[in-house]
Chains A and B, each alone.
Chain A
Amino acid sequence: MRGNNVMGIIFSNLHENLISQITELRTMGAVPFGGRYRLIDFPLSNMVNSGINKVGVITKSNYQSLTDHLGAGKAWDLSRQRNGLFILPPFMDPADYANRVKTFNAIMPFLKNASEEYVVISDCDVICNIDFQDVFEKHLETGADITLVYKRDQLPAKIQNPTVFSFDNKGKVIDVLVDPAITGSCSFYMNIMLIKRELLMDLVNKCIGKNTMSFKRDIIQGEYKNLNMYGYEFKGFSPVITTVADYFNANMSLKNPDVRADLFKADRPIYTKVRDDQPTKYGLGSKVSNSLIGNGCNIEGEVDNCVLFKGVHIGKGTKVSNCVIMQDTKIGANCNLSYVIVDKDVVIRDGKTLAGQPSYPVYIRKLSIV
């Protein structure tokens, strides 16, 4: 289904400080994930698979790797004559994107010129395969002004300004807490909402007029009594990336076949830019177990409980266990790595040993030579 009167806006630049090492050289949306993806592939594919064919991507700084990844949007079928992908960096001053309200104000021309009646807004910190078409149908069914996608779980420890909802028995929001001291399970906002485009513009204009700049406090919390806000519970696999350990664990959870089935559905595939590598080569004497492996790898050693991105080399006599190894990293012979996140294009010379802990994986920076 094409052209269902909904457009998408993705914030590719938020929550970066939580995994500052990995985002040192890239924006949140460009963080590599799961052997071949970037985090933005998930919201972007979800939108495209739900029939959305106009997506604006907000990005503030460090966006070279993001724009390189997105290109003209071809891989997501968003390189189109009508609509397609719009990359929206700050017009002149990054301060225009200081917060969510200011950002919406800064992209007001993009919002005004759109013809779609509805907008889906998503961040890049939650990895999931969600059907926005279903969210949209529920939105129409409840007659909501705003539908807020939430998850019922314990709050992730380092989550920033979590927004927690209470609902009446019809799913209508009757209370909103921002950053509450709460233990146990609660219904927290996944930073994904569906709203009428005109209403979004009105709410943003109102905030700008009053100089109230918190999207969560001044719009969601401030307006829930005046507007019909409904929740949409997402029950599928949906880890929130708030720490390097979360990132590591989310990668590792892909070894579980149920998780893969939930995230990589054949009828709602996750698209990504392809590099056209050759298939992965497994050498004589290689030993691979319980691992997710991208194309173009060359494996001569032992790989156990790992996620290997495309183009990784593992030398003879090397043992890599419980590691996330990103694109094109070359690990020499007779190395021993465990609980390590190795970023892109790293060279680990022969005979090196690196070890982290399950709760605290070691991180090796992009382009390092060890």
Chain B
Amino acid sequence: MYPKQEVVAMLLAGGQGSRLGVLTQKLAKPAVPFGGKYRIIDFPLSNCVNSGIEAVGVLTQYQPLVLNEYIGSGQPWDLDSMNSGVRILSPYQQIKGTDWYKGTANAIYQNINYIDRYNPNYVVILSGDHIYKMDYSKMIAFHKENNADCTIAVIDVPLAEASRFGIMNTNPDGSIYEFEEKPAHPKSTNASMGIYVFSWNKLRKYLIEDEDTDGSEHDFGKDVLPKMLEDGQRMFAYQFQGYWKDVGTIDSLWESNMDLLDPNVPLDLSDESWKIYSRNPVVPPQYIAEGASVQNSMIADGCDISGSVDFSVLFSNVVVKPGAVVQDSIIMPGSVIEEGAVVQYAIVSENTVIGKNAVIGARPEDIEDKDQWGIAVIGDNLKIGAGAKVAPKEMIAKDIEGVE
């Protein structure tokens, strides 16, 4: 018998994140490293724990090895209790057949048994590709106050960007009367954050109905939420104030890392009252050598810095050799920047070696045709030869020979 949990969280972590290209070739998007020591999934997982949620199901499908290994027993997030904690939920064989998760709603549908055993009142649906700190318990309280069936977290976005999001149009009391998916002419700036609170009895019924609906894509945004609205269920928008970023693209991933270096951005990772937990590597402290220069950067344990590092985020065990320059870049664990190499506006994935005097990316002001400019991305476990050049916006998935 499982003790009742008032709230169960379901974290959708099965997406491929194809827009991140080489970064998600071997791992699911939620496992992409972020912020010098974290992985993206640390944010929703830590938010759950800090919000008092004790049962978290993580739905995995695409390249789950790294993600599964990273979550492990859930101990770093205190999610390793006897009868609750984090559970990895992958698609499985059933009596009537075998299916992958066909859509976000179908993924939850296939795990109704997992949710049922906790007999929860509410289920929180989260996605694994957002960077933010949020107290879900406040959103659940809002859901209860309004006696809602479904509450959708929204954030105010600039009008110019509103057409990139799902927009919730609300009555003055916060109830939703209309959804618009990526509207050309948005009526409001309330963008859905992809965070939903449902009353479980309602959601359960709609999931079963949706499963039997022909032509449904089994997606929350496209099928379940519109159906609930059509049926006149009580749906509310919960206004979230604070930092929130979808890091589904190279640009947004880069920007969000850089935001950590900006003291004016409200995302404080040193706040003890809302800590973001992660699994920590066993490595010695970082060493900054004589002659090195480090400015406005974040650097993790195990790094060995002899070159110059400016406006950059360096993960554990990164080596920057003498005379190397790293600017406005993200260097993931274990990568080495050899002597004289210059890395600018780039993301270098794990355990890659950037050879001597190689040039990766460029500053936007040094590029005449601005359309040609963008963040350069180097995949993991690669060797970029001495003197090689990688243009801005390029994405490298193979070794590059050196040039003499």
Using CB atoms and an 8 Å cutoff, list the residues of chain A in contact with chain B. Answer: 34-36, 74, 254-255, 257, 260, 263-264, 269-272, 274, 276-296, 298, 303, 307-308
Please name 9 further chain A to chain B contacts, defined as beta carbons within 8 Å, in addition to the given A35-B285, A289-B289, sorted by A numbering. A36-B301, A263-B284, A272-B282, A281-B261, A290-B290, A295-B37, A295-B301, A303-B288, A308-B285
The CA-CA distance from A51 to B303 in the complex, in Å, is: 28
The CA-CA distance from A291 to B305 in the complex, in Å, is 10
Contacts of B297 in A (CB 8 A): 281-282
- Which of B277, B287, B295, B304 makes the CB contact (< 8 A) with A285? B295
Check if A289 sits within 8 Å of B288, measured CB to CB. Answer: yes
With both chains docked as a complex, state the minimum distance between the C-beta of B131 and any C-beta of chain A, in angstroms.
Answer: 13
- Name the residue among A286, A288, A303 with the largest chain B CB count within 10 angstroms: A288
| Whole-angstrom CA separation of A298 from B278 in the bound complex | 20
**A279–B37 touching, CB < 8 Å:** yes
In the complex, A271→B283 CA distance in Å? 8
Which of A274, A276, A284, A289 lies in contact with B275, CB distance below 8 A? A276
> A287 to chain B: which residues have CB within 8 Å?
293
Question: For residue A298, which residue of chain B has the nearest CB?
Answer: B270
Determine if B208 is an interface residue (Cβ-Cβ < 8 Å).
Answer: no
Q: How large is the interface on B (under 10, 10 to 19, 20 to 34, 35 or more residues)?
A: 35 or more
Q: Is B294 an interface residue (CB 8 A)?
A: yes
Contacts A35-B284, A269-B282, A271-B282; is A286 near B277 (CB within 8 Å)? no
Select one of A260, A276, A283, A303 contacting B76, CB under 8 A: A276
The complex places the Cα of A278 from the Cα of B261 at a distance, in Å, of 12
Residues of B within 8 A of A (CB): 35-37, 75-76, 261, 269-270, 275-278, 280, 282-301, 304, 309, 313-315
Given A255-B287, A280-B286, A290-B290, CB of A274 within 8 Å of CB of B280: yes
State the CA gap A254–B289 with chains docked (Å): 12
8 A-B pairs in the complex with CB atoms less than 8 angstroms apart: A34-B285, A74-B75, A257-B287, A276-B76, A278-B270, A282-B294, A283-B296, A295-B37
Contact yes or no, A260 B284, CB < 8 A: yes
Contact B280 A279 (CB under 8 A): no
> Hey, which chain B residues are within 8 Å of A283, CB to CB?
295-296
Minimum CB–CB distance for B42 against chain A, Å: 10
| Residues in chain B near residue A290, CB distance under 8 A | 288-290
CB distance from B267 to the nearest CB of A (A): 11
Check A292 against B295 for contact (C-beta < 8 Å). Answer: no
* A260 to B284 Cα, complex, angstroms: 8
**Known contacts A289-B292, A296-B270, A298-B270; A279/B287 CB under 8 A:** no
Q: Inside 8 A of B278's CB, which chain A residues have their CB?
A: 276
Q: Is the CB of A34 within 8 A of B292?
A: no
Is A292 touching B287 in the complex (CB atoms < 8 A)? yes
